[in-house]
């Protein structure tokens, strides 16, 4: 552990020294240079201290999150600045080598080709754009709730469910919330949609059930006449923190499930539920978390759907969209609509409706935000209501999905 920390500190110091050359080139004022160095050092040192001394096991306080966010911002600024300086150094190094051969090593020891002020200015200005966006994302983006609506038509949707309105929400990560007024506004936006039913697709907390203590009443105020249904996400199991005993971890899980029940959610744990309206029905199927790679694979669709008829209209709640890709699309029992979350859209990207939808998360997940269709089956991947680790959102904003089901026979 100590060795890894030393490597991290050396790496950070190298980034700081290299990027500071741009500041030194642009300004002749020594105090600006030293202010840059001191500020960057304080940000990194504060983050390290938060991890080593002040972070309570399993809880990510807002202060810790902001420390992490500032650390990421500083590192992004430095790395982008360095990328410009490195390209310039590709030219400067051969100049120095040429000087060695023509003037001799002794005269070249103190010789250094000057940096171009234009390159350093360009580097600092360019680096300021994403760094500024990250700061703005922490200040405004993380509570910039958006309602995104979809209409999906089906041949086999029972007529009673024509124009049935679903609100799909996901990934609250309650331990990250730090502004009750803004979260309350988001909850009001959900209720203002006047949904027939509300589906929550996992990650109510970051790690620990007690994160919900300050938010239970508010989240419990969500209302829909046909109920509220939920499944668990990978963060709900408490797998990312140390527990003194297995019993303590089990008790945490029981507490979370009780909290969900107290808030009015029917939690589906590899099981199904018949939703009846005007003597017609659709089946709701909920699986525990199943994620590709190293994520927990506790979800079992075969067990969950064991009481469901193949021809019945089905809605599946599954936290991780990789489950849909790997286990559902080609399953012998087709699922008309799957609802997922998990990706957060990486909380960073560019979205202009009808023009572009891009995020680095696309390199990890083929299906990562919005509605997709494969084999006449739809999935909606919610971008998340909350945030995790980096306490902000840039370009990919918190989402309230509204899905209106339509019958093609009416």
Q: Which of 90, 111, 115, 110 is nearest to 22 (CA)?
A: 115
- Residue ranges making up the domain that contains 21: 2-139
Can you tell me the distance from the alpha carbon of 29 to that of 4, in angstroms, rounded to the nearest whole number? 36
Task: Please state the pTM of the whole predicted model.
Answer: 0.91
- Pairing relation of β-strands 337-340 and 314-317? parallel
What is the number of domains present in the chain? 2
Residue 167 near residue 195 (C-beta atoms within 8 A)? yes
Same domain, 114 and 230: no
Q: Which of 370, 357, 359, 284 is nearest to 321 (CA)?
A: 370
Same domain, 15 and 60: yes
Q: Detail the DSSP E strand segments found in 264-335.
A: 265-267, 271-277, 280-286, 314-317
Same domain, 295 and 401: yes
pLDDT at 281: 96
Same domain, 51 and 185: no
DSSP 234-264: GGGGTTTS--SSHHHHHHHHHHHHHHHHHTT
Across-strand partners of 164?
405
Same domain, 125 and 155: no
Same domain, 117 and 152: no
Can you tell me the distance from the alpha carbon of 405 to that of 275, in angstroms, rounded to the nearest whole number? 14
| Domain's final residue, options 85, 108, 139 | 139
DSSP label at residue 53: I
pLDDT at 100: 60
DSSP label at residue 163: T
Contact residues for 6 (Cβ-Cβ < 8 A; gap 6+): none
Residue 122, φ and ψ in degrees, nearest 5: -60, -40
Q: Is 177 exposed, middle or buried (0-12, 13-18, 19+ CB in 10 A)?
A: buried
Contact residues for 8 (Cβ-Cβ < 8 A; gap 6+): none
pLDDT at 148: 97
Give average pLDDT by consecutive 10-residue segment, the chain, 410 residues.
Answer: 76 88 86 90 87 68 88 94 89 66 57 75 95 96 97 96 98 96 98 98 96 96 98 96 94 98 98 97 98 95 96 97 97 97 97 91 96 96 96 97 91
Same domain, 211 and 240: yes
DSSP label at residue 308: S
pLDDT at 8: 81
Residue 402 near residue 193 (C-beta atoms within 8 A)? yes
Q: Which of 391, 369, 388 is nearest to 380 (CA)?
A: 369
pLDDT at 295: 95
Can you tell me the distance from the alpha carbon of 381 to that of 341, in angstroms, rounded to the nearest whole number? 5
Q: Which of 83, 139, 117, 202 is nearest to 390 (CA)?
A: 139
Q: Which of 232, 246, 243, 228 is nearest to 203 (CA)?
A: 232
Same domain, 92 and 122: yes
Same domain, 116 and 209: no
| Domain's final residue, options 106, 139, 172 | 139
| Domain's final residue, options 114, 139, 164 | 139
Same domain, 231 and 309: yes
CATH at residue 292: 3.60.21.10
Same domain, 132 and 196: no
Q: Which of 339, 350, 342, 355 is nearest to 393 (CA)?
A: 350
Q: Is 166 helix (H, G, I), strand (E, B) or coil?
A: strand
CA dihedral 339, 344, 350, 353 (to 10 degrees): 20
Q: Which of 52, 23, 53, 55 is nearest to 40 (CA)?
A: 23
Same domain, 123 and 270: no
Q: Is 107 exposed, middle or buried (0-12, 13-18, 19+ CB in 10 A)?
A: exposed
């Amino acid at each position: 552990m100590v060795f890894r920390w030393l490597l991290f500190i050396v790496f950070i110091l190298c980034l700081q020294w290299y990027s500071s050359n741009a500041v030194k080139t642009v300004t002749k004022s020594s105090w600006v240079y030293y202010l840059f160095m001191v500020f960057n050092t304080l940000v990194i040192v504060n983050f390290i201290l938060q991890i080593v001394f002040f972070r309570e096991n399993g809880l990510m306080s807002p202060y810790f999150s902001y420390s992490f966010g500032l650390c990421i911002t500083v590192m992004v600024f430095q790395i982008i600045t360095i990328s410009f300086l490195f390209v310039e150094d590709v030219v400067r190094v051969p100049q120095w080598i040429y000087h060695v051969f023509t003037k001799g090593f002794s005269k070249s020891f103190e010789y250094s080709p000057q940096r171009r002020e234009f390159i350093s200015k360009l580097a600092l200005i360019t680096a300021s754009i994403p760094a500024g966006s990250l700061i703005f994302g922490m200040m405004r983006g993380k509570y910039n709730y958006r309602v995104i609506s979809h209409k999906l038509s089906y041949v086999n949707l029972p007529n009673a469910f024509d124009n049935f309105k679903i609100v799909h929400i996901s990934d609250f990560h309650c331990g990250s919330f730090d502004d009750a007024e803004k979260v309350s506004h988001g909850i009001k936006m959900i209720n203002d949609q006047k949904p027939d039913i509300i589906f929550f697709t996992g990650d109510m907390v970051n790690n620990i059930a007690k994160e919900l203590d300050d938010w239970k009443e508010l989240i419990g105020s969500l209302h829909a006449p046909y109920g509220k249904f939920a499944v668990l996400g990978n963060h709900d199991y408490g797998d990312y923190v140390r527990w003194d005993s297995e019993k303590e971890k089990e008790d945490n899980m029981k507490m979370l499930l009780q909290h969900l029940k107290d808030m009015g959610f029917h939690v589906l744990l590899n099981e199904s539920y018949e939703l009846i309206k005007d003597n017609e029905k659709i089946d709701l199927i909920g699986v525990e978390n199943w994620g590709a790679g190293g994520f927990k694979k506790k979800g079992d669709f075969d067990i969950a759907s064991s009481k469901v008829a193949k021809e019945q209209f089905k809605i599946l709640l599954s936290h991780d969209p990789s489950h849909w890709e790997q286990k559902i699309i080609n399953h012998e029992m087709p699922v008309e609509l799957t609802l997922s979350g998990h990706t957060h859209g990486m909380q960073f990207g560019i979205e202009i409706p009808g023009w572009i939808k891009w995020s680095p998360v696309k390199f990890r997940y083929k299906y990562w935000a919005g509605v997709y269709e494969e084999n006449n089956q739809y999935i909606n991947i919610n971008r998340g209501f909350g945030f995790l680790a980096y306490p902000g959102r840039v370009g990919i904003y918190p989402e309230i999905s509204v899905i209106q089901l339509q019958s093609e026979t009416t």
